[in-house]
Amino acid sequence: MKKYYYYTYRTESGKICCGTQSIEGRDFDVNLMMRKLYKDYGCVCIITFWKEISKEEHEGLMEFFNEVNKEG
């Protein structure tokens, strides 16, 4: 079963960011996500919060993130 998560994290510079993740058949893996953020951004990011959300919430957040990213 696929699970959906919303999470927030803090970068080394103190910036607070957020994201969503869909995961098949397991719970949110903080270790794996911190390693992914390190690989993507080249710095240590500390995950400060995560919560399981519905598929509809995940889709809505992804749509919002896409709109914000288009604005630059």
Q: Note the pLDDT of residue 72.
A: 61
Q: Note the pLDDT of residue 25.
A: 87
Q: Which residues contact 64 (CB under 8 A, 6 or more apart)?
A: none
CA distances from 70 to 15, 25, 64, 67 (A): 20, 32, 10, 5
Number of helical H runs and strand E runs in the chain: 2, 3
Each residue's pLDDT tens digit, 6-57: 999 999 899 999 999 999 989 999 999 999 999 998 889 999 999 999 999 9
Separation of CA 1 from chain center: 19
